[in-house]
Structure 1
Amino acid sequence: MTTTTAPAPSAERFDWTGRTVLVTGAEGFIGSTLVDLLIERGARVRAFVHYKPYAEKGHLAHLIGDPRVETVAGDVRDAGRVTDAVAGCDTVFHLAALIGIPYSYDSPGAYVQTNVVGTENVAEACRRHAVRRLVHTSTSEVYGTARTAPIGEDHPLQPQSPYSASKIGADMVALSHWHAFELPVTVVRPFNTYGPRQSARAVIPTILAQLHAGAREIRLGSLTPTRDFTYVTDTARGFLALAACDRALGEVVNLGTGREIAVGDLARRLVEASGRDAEVVVDPARLRPSGSEVERLLSDNGRARAWAGWEPEVSLTDGLKRTSEWVADHPHLFAPARYQV
């Protein structure tokens, strides 16, 4: 179910040719997919990646030596480094964040430093250098369990984990720069993006990794929560469309399919997509703390459709199949897959 407003002409036709674009978190799952899409559309990409002394390039390894991509190592908590990276950029996509819910219970302060303070540093750097547009990445986790469905952008924010609390704080920092300083910012709120390159900390790749390793039993936490899963290229297309959409200035915009599926049903779909044979069972050790589990997420994507002409293109069936094939082709990234989902 989605808002029935007629779609606008797609903002995806925006011309990125020759524009210098900064992507923070560029080596990650969504970030690297966005980098690939920007290059395809003619942009010059400055990829801001987390510094590693062992020179690991993450999902940007295939772009090493490509003249269209400049890699800048740093940390969004370092205001000076961020300011230098933003200089000369037309558009900034801010995806760098400390992600994952389970670890946020153990180290909530780290989430505040990276997600909230890091966003402040990015927003201030964009203001200093007068960028054309800042696109800040939020998450559907900020909504908590749906009080009404589908979830529109005006749904109450519910910090049901330290992770979601830090992302709420980051969103407010970004929006405050629109209200206080007229910084041209849009907050993009993806719903459960999945696809190739996603790490085993997430439910879909960790299930697939177990299946392709020959597991006959898939152990999960609660099977009843529902999620709205969006394929990664659709999410990346949404980022580009909203970066070109003036109606979205100073606003929050959901990116989701408007369809939901329970985790248990998803697991069974993944068994089918993998071509394997396995049973799905509940593991009490994987259950989240009481009051922290988000029971339902279902997006209202009416703003993205009406304002930017965006709509998802990849069905869940096709997306799960593509993801299964990618996981099967990259077993070294998932051994051993011991993540809590």
Structure 2
Amino acid sequence: MENLSKKILITGADGFIGSHLTEELVRQGYDVRAFVYYNSFNSYGWLDHSDKEIKSSLEIFSGDIRDPYGVKKAMKGCTHVLHLASLIAIPYSYHSPATYVDTNINGTLNIVQAANELEVEKVVHTSTSEVYGTALYVPIDENHPLQGQSPYSASKIAADQMALSFHRSFATPVSVIRPFNTYGPRQSARAVIPTIISQLASGNQSIKLGAISPTRDFNFIKDTVNGFISVMESEKSIGEVINIGSNYEVSIGETAEMIADIMGVKLQIVTDEQRLRPKKSEVERLWAENKKAKDLLGWCPQYGGKEGFRKGLKETIEWFTNPNNLSQYKADVYNI
């Protein structure tokens, strides 16, 4: 009953992380309004694939995060806002950087402006580990310098600062969650783990990748979702930036080898030039310090370390290798 007293708006609810988060909040008894990107097909993205019980419990709002009037309308009556809507593909940010300014920066401004006017109880703004750029020291804590190494990361740095500025200027109750590289079922093939799995599952032993030496701190979707809920529920998180990461560093090459081993296939990696980032734009190393999340929120990854990563990969592979799911991916096409 306590959860039902909270009306939660989730922007980007139709996406990878957003759909998983929406479903979990419904399961936990929250009253959820899902903000999905308007389209003429009346598609709700991944929420179209949710269980009937989930969909029947949802209120859907179709709109555009870039529209301040629609955003404010969507937020009316809501006590909490989980703001996930953004453009996130790094290669596409080289192609169309202005859209990242409109969506990520102005979209965030629309959220915090409306939150301030409507006196919303809590806004959780979604950041990204990409704002840190290549690690200057490891593990990366929340005090690490911010480095915009792509138009995407630059737009997210600006969006984070916009959200925090409203907390400092107007006492808007904002928290910034900074997930490291989330992976799991439903993730776009623009991300490296789905790229590897979908190519191997399609029968390709020789797979195309970009750079394989960079390291990442991969975070399984269930841990990321629990991180969002922990930040939302904690009063201690207001005005804070909090990393959500596994505290386990692994290279792209090692990740591909682990996936091939789990799938029981041989692997040959071919470097695809179009998948390489410009040299100074590539983030060479990411490794999360998650002590603040543990101390402040009591959050702890359930898929941490090598064994946890392997467990998460198995669950991800199981989903992607289901023919009904794999058929939705174009393994032979580079998805920017």
Report the CA distance between 1:336 and its aligned residue.
Answer: 4.0
Query: Which runs of no fewer than 5 residues in structure 2 stay unpaired?
Result: none
Q: Aligned AA for 1:85?
A: A
Q: Which whole-Å CA distance do the structure 2 matches of 1:319 and 1:38 have between them?
A: 21
Residue 318 of structure 2 corresponds to which residue in structure 1? 325
Q: Aligned AA for 2:313?
A: L
SS, match of residue 209 in structure 1: helix
Residue 330 of structure 2 corresponds to which residue in structure 1? 335
Aligned pairs for 1:142-291 (under 5 A) are: 142-291=131-280
Report the CA distance between 1:339 and its aligned residue.
Answer: 2.5
Match of 1:133 among 122, 126, 135: 122
Q: Which whole-Å CA distance do the structure 1 matches of 2:334 and 2:146 have between them?
A: 27
Report the CA distance between 1:90 and its aligned residue.
Answer: 1.2
Q: Which whole-Å CA distance do the structure 2 matches of 1:80 and 1:92 have between them?
A: 16
Residue 20 of structure 1 corresponds to which residue in structure 2? 7
Match of 1:51 among 38, 53, 60: 38
Name which structure has the greater RCO, CA cutoff 8 Å, separation 6+: 1
| Preserved contact between residue 16 and residue 38 of structure 1 (Cα < 8 Å) | no
Residue by residue, what CA displacement relative to the aligned partner does 1:221-260 show, whole Å, maximum 9, x if unpaired?
A: 1111000000001101000001122222111000001111
| Preserved contact between residue 212 and residue 276 of structure 1 (Cα < 8 Å) | no
Q: Which whole-Å CA distance do the structure 2 matches of 1:235 and 1:267 have between them?
A: 22
Q: Which whole-Å CA distance do the structure 2 matches of 1:275 and 1:58 have between them?
A: 32
SS, match of residue 21 in structure 1: strand
The 3 A distance-change label for structure 1 pair 176 and 337 is: farther
Residue 6 of structure 1 corresponds to which residue in structure 2? none
| Preserved contact between residue 195 and residue 331 of structure 2 (Cα < 8 Å) | no
Report the CA distance between 1:17 and its aligned residue.
Answer: 3.2
Report the CA distance between 1:176 and its aligned residue.
Answer: 0.4
Match of 2:97 among 94, 108, 117: 108
Aligned length: 328
Match of 1:73 among 30, 47, 62: 62
Report the CA distance between 1:149 and its aligned residue.
Answer: 0.4
Residue by residue, what CA displacement relative to the aligned partner does 1:310-333 show, whole Å, maximum 9, x if unpaired?
A: 011121111101111111111121
Q: Which whole-Å CA distance do the structure 2 matches of 1:288 and 1:15 have between them?
A: 47
Q: Aligned AA for 1:327?
A: F
Q: Give the stretch that moved more between structures: 66-75 or 158-167.
A: 66-75
Residue by residue, what CA displacement relative to the aligned partner does 1:141-186 show, whole Å, maximum 9, x if unpaired?
A: 0000000100010100000000000000100000001000000010
Report the CA distance between 1:287 and its aligned residue.
Answer: 1.6
Residue by residue, what CA displacement relative to the aligned partner does 1:32-75 show, whole Å, maximum 9, x if unpaired?
A: 11001101110011000000101122111125683421010000
Residue 84 of structure 1 corresponds to which residue in structure 2? 73
The 3 A distance-change label for structure 1 pair 63 and 117 is: farther
Q: Which whole-Å CA distance do the structure 2 matches of 1:301 and 1:181 have between them?
A: 29
CA-based RMSD: 1.5
Query: Which runs of no fewer than 5 residues in structure 1 stay unpaired?
Result: 1-13
Report the CA distance between 1:293 and its aligned residue.
Answer: 0.3
Q: Which whole-Å CA distance do the structure 2 matches of 1:336 and 1:54 have between them?
A: 24
- For normalisation by structure 1, the TM-score amounts to 0.93
Report the CA distance between 1:104 and its aligned residue.
Answer: 0.3
Residue 7 of structure 1 corresponds to which residue in structure 2? none
Residue by residue, what CA displacement relative to the aligned partner does 1:21-40 show, whole Å, maximum 9, x if unpaired?
A: 00000010000110011011
